[in-house]
Amino acid sequence: MLMAPQHAITQGDYTMRMPAIKARDVRRFLIGERFPTSYELHERLDTMRALAVFASDAISSNAYATEAIMSVLILLGSAALRYTLPLALAVASLILMVVYSYIQTIYHYPSGGGAYMVAKDNLGRYPSLLAGAALLIDYVMTVAVSSSAGVRAVTSAFPEATEYRVLIALAAITLIAWINLRGARESGTIFAVPTYAFVVGAVVVILIGLVRHLGLFGTAPLPVNATTTPPVRDATGLALIWLLLRAFSGGCTALTGIEAISNGVQAFKPPEARHATHTMIAMAIIAVTLFLGISFLATTMHLTPEELGESILSQLTRLVAGRGWLYYWVQVFTALILFLAANTGFQDFPRLSYILAREGFMPRWLQNRGDRLVYSSGIVALALLSAGLVLLFRADEIAMLPLYALGVMLSFCLSQAGMSHLMARVGRLAPGESLNTGATIVHYEPNWRWKRALNIAGAAITGAVFVVLVATKFVEGAWVVVLALPVIVYFFERIHRHYGRVAQALSVERLDERELNVIADVAIVPIGDIHRGTLLALQYARRIASDVRAVCVATSPEARARVEQRWRRFPSVTGGLELVVLDYAYRDLLPPLVDYVAELSANEYPGRLLTVVIPEFLPANRLARLLHNQTASFLRRTLREHPDVIIIDVPIHVQDRG
């Protein structure tokens, strides 16, 4: 029985042997024990956990959505901040409209996929790929923006940490990725505490602010900021309308994360659609309440945004409740929920990648699920992409917001347009009749007309917001998303065509067995010397071919003589086999070996498959493998380029117990 490699620890006459630490042991320590596939249903989320997992992005957007509106209005001077609340009411109305549409999506497309599946089923291939590209961009931006916004909350309370904001954001991304690799249910449990703590803290601040505003219970009136800011620019007429549209578009960041639940319906416990709908409704109530409450108090108190300074939420909490425990409660859990809002991206990016990979538009390895039944490849890919954005933008979430909202609005527009088309198809059905659309089965719905009207209105508004964002933020970075969308769709198509060609090449439907390549009765064994490993490879080659040729490259007459002498020492193995020694004047041994195989294929066995048996040393210690020449690996990679060559590895395992 082979024993695991051991390390010896000696002290006097006492020797203790400890087992080497293996990679799988480290993985088990970091990720946890493996889950059987049958455990998948147990890993699904109930409403309480799902709200923390999927709604944290939408809820956390309230920490900066009001500020996004005010950051545009301040260009017209502090007097223009009175428009904050009306614009917030308009955004809140749009939130409710989009939420209602996505509730329809959940019931009609319970398998998940959100805007991608809706667009695919109702608008066609390219709109669906555009929706998929927009969503992928959105999820990458969700992680980058959320982690950077969390850093902003930290630096608002602790300004001395500002110079470390990039490192803090990267550490947060790494931590959240690790938690997600441990499983959906475990991440939901971990994220529930900060999510609900933030909601409670923000609601308490809003209630205190309202009580003070109304003068109830003899409380002190709300402080009002008396500082006035002159207009950066004068705007009237169309210019004013344009700036108001920009401010409205900025406030639409409050919509981010709404689509997450519809994309991940299959992550919920059965009945999936009902639990997803309840979570969507709870998310909408919490998000709208916080958004309108913060916007009302910020307007009433005449707060002004500070670029890279104290956030509006921090100002609001400090002025309403003072710098006591409630202030630090809100700041700490604001930072945590902003960090953890990135979890929405970590839930939906891997799921959407899985759907796209399943249909052949993304690499197939994104379908693989890890030991903890999560799409671990997608999680790691998302962590790397979002970390790159954080480094590029130096963890400045305000600079990333133009890129962030674009993908969200485009996916909303396509989803709403797709649902309006679905409602039109529903309207053509008779009562009691059903239709299989390809991705879902729909039935006649009595109120389909006003549902369709809401979908059309939502598509028009979100489409207009998308256009405004592109026009106003193009030179500020939105051009990156505008350029990236068609590029990503192009790569989707290239990947799909590649998989189509591979499937066609491997198809056996019209296969004529005479078309299969004949395997030549020859085995080539590249050798550098005669030792235990090459003798084993030669023995194996004897079993698969009657014509076995050992090929050696000699760089000097002495090397040739040595190999020929050692060849004759083992007649029981080498007897009857051909030794081919290639004289070569240079040190790179691969070209003559490859040329010999190519010449043999072209001249002696044209159109047939040649077998190359490669012996390779494999020390038990992985680090020890770096001490050996990698000629076998290089040769294997080079020969793989030849279509008529079959490569067989003969590993020689070396137990190093030193």
**Burial (Cβ within 10 Å: 0-12, 13-18, ≥19) of residue 188:** buried
CA distance 162 to 389: 18
**pLDDT tens profile 550-565:** 999 998 889 899 999 9
The two three-digit tokens of residue 429, written as one number? 């059905």
CA distance 84 to 624: 65
Angle between helical axes of 342-358 and 325-340 (0-180°, round to 10): 10
The two three-digit tokens of residue 166, written as one number? 């990039």
Give the list of residues 6+ apart from residue 68 with CB closer than 8 angstroms, or none.
250, 251, 253, 398, 401
Least confident of 172-176, 335-339, 490-494: 335-339
Which is it for the CA torsion 642, 644, 649, 650, positive or negative? negative
pLDDT of residue 224: 81
- Fold agreement (32-501, 518-654): no
Q: Is the pTM of this model over 0.85?
A: no
**Burial (Cβ within 10 Å: 0-12, 13-18, ≥19) of residue 558:** exposed
Q: What is the mean pLDDT of residues 81-98?
A: 92
Side chain identity at residue 267, one-letter code: A
pLDDT of residue 28: 63
Whole-number Cα distances in Å, 402 to 145, 240, 481: 11, 20, 9
Q: Running DSSP on this structure, what letter comes out for residue 437?
A: -
Whole-number Cα distances in Å, 597 to 401, 547, 551, 567, 593: 57, 14, 10, 21, 6
Least confident of 14-18, 133-137, 392-396: 14-18
Give the list of residues 6+ apart from residue 414 with CB closer than 8 angstroms, or none.
115, 118, 119, 123, 127, 128, 130, 131, 134, 459
**pLDDT tens profile 261-279:** 888 888 888 888 899 999 9
> Is the Cβ–Cβ distance between 390 and 345 less than 8 Å?
no
**pLDDT tens profile 555-594:** 888 989 999 999 999 888 888 899 999 998 877 788 899 9
Q: What is the mean pLDDT of residues 598-611?
A: 89
**pLDDT tens profile 26-83:** 666 666 676 666 666 666 778 888 888 788 888 888 777 898 899 888 888 888 888 9
CATH topology of domain 518-654: Rossmann fold (3.40.50)
Backbone angles phi, psi at 172, to 5 degrees: -65, -45
The domain segmentation of the chain, as residue ranges, is: 32-501, 518-654
Q: pLDDT confidence of 16, banded at 50, 70, 90?
A: very low
Bridge-based pairing state of the strands 434-436 and 441-443: antiparallel
**Burial (Cβ within 10 Å: 0-12, 13-18, ≥19) of residue 258:** buried
Tell me yes or no: is domain 32-501 CATH 1.20.1740.10.
Answer: yes
pLDDT of residue 636: 86
Q: How many C-beta atoms lie closer than 10 Å to residue 479's C-beta?
A: 14
Nearest partner of 213 among 293, 126, 309, judged by Cα = 293
Give the list of residues 6+ apart from residue 52 with CB closer than 8 angstroms, or none.
188, 191, 192, 195, 196, 340
Please spell the DSSP secondary structure of 455-507, one letter per residue. HHHHHHHHHHHHHHHHHHHIIIIIHHHHHHHHHHHHHHHHHHHHHHHHHHHH-
Give the list of residues 6+ apart from residue 607 with CB closer than 8 angstroms, or none.
517, 518, 644
Give the list of residues 6+ apart from residue 156 with CB closer than 8 angstroms, or none.
309, 310, 311, 314, 331
Rounded to the nearest integer, the mean pLDDT of the chain is: 84
Q: Could you give the percent of the chain with pLDDT greater than 90?
A: 34
Nearest partner of 600 among 525, 543, 538, judged by Cα = 525
Q: How many C-beta atoms lie closer than 10 Å to residue 250's C-beta?
A: 30
The two three-digit tokens of residue 362, written as one number? 């993304």
Higher pLDDT, 627 or 336: 336
CA dihedral 107, 111, 112, 113 (to 10 degrees): -120
CA dihedral 539, 545, 547, 553 (to 10 degrees): -60
* 621-653 as b/e: b if 16+ CB within 10 A: beeeeeeeeebbeebeeebeeeebbbeeebebe
CA dihedral 265, 269, 274, 276 (to 10 degrees): -40
CA distance 292 to 308: 23
* 400-437 as b/e: b if 16+ CB within 10 A: bbbbbbbbbbbbbbbbbbbbbbbbeebeeeeeeeeeee
Q: Could you give the percent of the chain with pLDDT greater than 70?
A: 87
Max CA separation in the chain (angstroms): 107
**pLDDT tens profile 404-440:** 778 888 999 999 999 999 999 888 888 888 888 887 8
pLDDT of residue 9: 41
Give the list of residues 6+ apart from residue 295 with CB closer than 8 angstroms, or none.
66, 69, 84, 85, 88
**pLDDT tens profile 460-484:** 988 988 888 888 778 777 888 889 9
> Is the Cβ–Cβ distance between 581 and 550 less than 8 Å?
no
Higher pLDDT, 229 or 356: 356
Helix (H) or strand (E) holding 15: strand 14-19
* 116-139 as b/e: b if 16+ CB within 10 A: bbbbbbbbeeebbbbbbbbbbbbb
Q: pLDDT confidence of 149, banded at 50, 70, 90?
A: confident
